[in-house]
Amino acid sequence: MPVKSAVLMIQGEQSWTSDVEDISSTGVMVRRPHGWTGTLGELFVLDMIFGAKVNIHLKATVARLTREHIGFAYERIPPNKEKPLWDLLGGYADRLEKFPH
């Protein structure tokens, strides 16, 4: 699902801010910030904000790298963040697919 949102990427004592560009039920793609030093397979904590009410905080592993983007695969979605994520993704799917009444 294409989306524009803020993300804070944390690894140990280092952190970077960037923008989420795409999110799915298994991962997220963010714009690669200047000075970012991660590599494939490394674990990060992501804190993403969608609108005024949805904050998703989870652990994710670097799964794909390009010059401009970082692809993260979720390690585990905390139980209290599952519903907000599914609601976000479900609302997008509902707008894409028109079901007959």
Per the domain annotation, does 77 fall within a domain? yes
Answer with the residue of higher pLDDT: 5 or 53: 5
Which residue type occupies 21? E
Whether residue 33 lies inside any domain: the answer is yes
Write out pLDDT tens, residues 18-27: 999 988 888 8
Domain contains 101: no
Spatial distance between the Cα atoms of 22 and 8, rounded to a whole number of angstroms: 15
- Residues 81-93 have a mean pLDDT of 63
Is residue 40 in a domain?
yes
We report the CATH number of the domain holding residue 11 as: 2.40.10.220
Q: Is the pTM here over 0.85, yes or no? A: no
Write down the mean pLDDT value for the chain: 82
CA 85 to chain centre: 10
Residue 10 token pair: 């944390």
Structural domain boundaries enclosing 57: 2-96
Tell me how far CA of residue 2 lies from CA of 30, 97, 100, in angstroms.
Answer: 11, 15, 25
The residue among 12, 13, 90, 77 whose CA lies nearest residue 48 is 77
